A and B are shown apart, each in its own frame.
Chain A
Amino acid sequence: MKILTLNFLTCAVKACKSSAASYPLHPQEVELAKDEMEYNPQAMLNFLLRLDWAALRMTATELGFATLPEEMPTAEDLQQDELKMRQLHELLLETHVVSGKLVCGNCGHEYGIKEGIANFLLPSHLV
């Protein structure tokens, strides 16, 4: 699962929807892998508009990458600085979580990840 997707996932439990702590999910005991993907600056700019930068920084720190700046780079910034854009591309689209678990900060439910597929099936008492 890409880090980009991780930036959009929230807890699936209904009671957690209203809680701020349910987002982002916290990755634990993860194994990462890199998978080459074609670099597409236009797509990156589209995703950038919707990224939650604070959440991305938190995820990156928890995964052990601590090179993200505090402020979110603007679109113009990135268009001029290709290196920065390529770094972001590498982090968001090429870095994959292969196994581990995602933990909700509110209810503590653990979503397992196996072979890159997160299990978001809920037991019937949580639906």
Chain B
Amino acid sequence: MSRPEDTLVADIHYNVTESRKYTTSSRIQNVQASMTLRALELLDLSGPSFILDVGCGSGLSGEILSATPPDEGGPHVWVGMDISADMLDIALERDVEGDLLYSDIGQGVPFRAGTFDAAISISAIQWLCNAESTETSPQGRLSRFFNGLYASLRRGGRAVCQFYPKNDQQKKMITQAAVKAGFGAGLLEDDPETKNVKVYLVLTVGGTAQDGNSGDITNVVNGMEGVDVLDSRRRAREKSSGRGDIKPQKGSKAWIMKKKEQMEKKGKVVKASSKYTGRKRRIQF
């Protein structure tokens, strides 16, 4: 699948034709709608809320927020941010309910502390991993975005960001930036290991004491069907407490055998091992 992130910057990629194509394609509309509904489910909002839509584009996801029926906690009032002027133009044409801001999320989130109940972002934050000039770095842009987002959400608020990571490294970079900003972070994958995998970064601000939870991120998916929790924190703790395998001392026979095995796996020509392998020579005069 082609990745527009690799070839161009967001505001240039989504020009007039591309924005129109994106908004009118029924396939994209369906995918966006199902992801927005999934994000809303993860946000678990109880009443009409004030929501930030990061990378709102032409307002496909915002429309769903405005149209949420009252028995599901809606309708929500939302503010959208996007860097593509042409996308915002189409949003204006479509006459969306929310307010729109023309801004770059990598430059921060210009709202005062505790503004929003929740934030959603559909297929946007992977664009932060590309820096278009030498003055900015992906890490810098990610950290400005997550710091701004953290400050603008109220305590106990949640953010759900669906994104398309290029590889595991990018996934890790984004998650680490969020954790560094202070969020409780977890990744939810729908249809893992298929072509249609959807990655949701679920973020919490502070513990939600009113539900009696300790603020653990895994509580977000409590009671949801078909979700397996893989806690990598426990694995990391076990590793650091020394329960993992011990490295052989450098130069020892075990170390030499390990290296030979590694080289063999790489396809290098390795001398056969014998009883003399790794032995010391006798002392010479």
Interface residues of chain A, those whose CB is within 8 Å of chain B, are: 1-2, 4-5, 8-12, 14, 23, 37-38, 40, 42-43, 46-47, 50, 52, 93, 115-122, 124, 127
> Is B102's CB under 8 angstroms from A121's CB?
yes
Contact A40 B48 (CB under 8 A): yes
Checking B77, B110, B135 against A120 with a beta-carbon cut-off of 8 angstroms, the contacting residue is B110
Question: Nearest 8 pairs between A and B by C-beta?
Answer: A120-B103, A43-B48, A12-B110, A8-B115, A5-B99, A119-B102, A117-B100, A1-B99
Answer whether residue B133 sits at the interface, using C-beta atoms and an 8 A cutoff: yes
In the complex, A28 Cα to B158 Cα: how many Å? 34
Shortest Cβ distance from residue A113 to the other chain B in the assembled complex, whole angstroms:
10
A2 to B154: give the CA distance in the assembly, Å.
Answer: 20
What are the residues of chain B within 8 A of A8 when measuring CB–CB? 111-112, 115
Size class of the B contact interface (CB-based, 8 Å): 20 to 34
Q: A5-B99, A10-B112, A37-B97 are in contact. Are A122 and B48 (CB under 8 A)?
A: no
Q: Provided the pairs A37-B97, A46-B48, A93-B77 are in contact, do residues A124 and B135 lie with their beta carbons within 8 angstroms?
A: yes
B138 at the interface (CB under 8 A from A): no
Q: Give the residues in chain B near A46, CB-CB below 8 Å.
A: 47-50, 117
- Answer whether A47 and B104 are a contact pair too, CB < 8 Å, given A124-B135, A127-B136: no
Contacts A120-B110, A121-B102, A127-B107 known; A42 to B48 CB distance under 8 Å? Answer: yes
* Chain B proximity of A90: nearest CB distance (Å): 15
A117 x B92 contact (CB < 8 A): yes
How many contacting A-B pairs (Cβ < 8 A)? Answer: 78
Are A50 and B101 in contact (CB-based, < 8 A)?
no
Within the assembled complex, what's the spacing in Å between the Cα atoms of A115 and B102? 11
* Complex: A4 Cα to B77 Cα, angstroms: 10
From A9, A42, A43, B111 is in contact (CB under 8 Å) with A9
In the complex, chain A residues whose CB is within 8 Å of the CB of B133: 124
B114 within 8 A of A: yes
Point out the residues of chain B lying under 8 angstroms from A121, CB to CB.
83, 102-104, 107
- 13 A-B pairs with CB atoms under 8 Å apart are A23-B112, A38-B75, A43-B48, A43-B49, A43-B75, A50-B114, A50-B115, A50-B154, A116-B99, A118-B101, A119-B102, A120-B81, A127-B107
Complex CA–CA separation, A33 to B196 (angstroms)? 44
Give the chain B neighbours of A5 by CB distance below 8 A. 79, 99
Find the A residue at minimum CB distance from B48: A43
Q: Is the CB of A2 within 8 A of B99?
A: yes
Give min CB distance, A124 to chain B, whole Å.
Answer: 6
Chain B residues with CB under 8 Å of A119's CB are 102-103
Contacts of B79 in A (CB 8 A): 5
Q: Besides the contacts A46-B47, A116-B99, what 14 more A-B pairs have beta carbons closer than 8 Å? A: A4-B77, A8-B112, A9-B110, A9-B112, A11-B110, A14-B108, A40-B48, A42-B48, A43-B77, A47-B77, A120-B101, A121-B102, A121-B104, A127-B107
Contacts of B107 in A (CB 8 A): 12, 120-122, 127
In the complex the two chains form, is A120's CB within 8 Å of B102's CB? yes
Smallest CB–CB gap between B194 and chain A, Å?
38
* Residue B60 is within 8 A (CB to CB) of chain A in the complex: no
Complex Cα gap A37–B77 (Å): 11
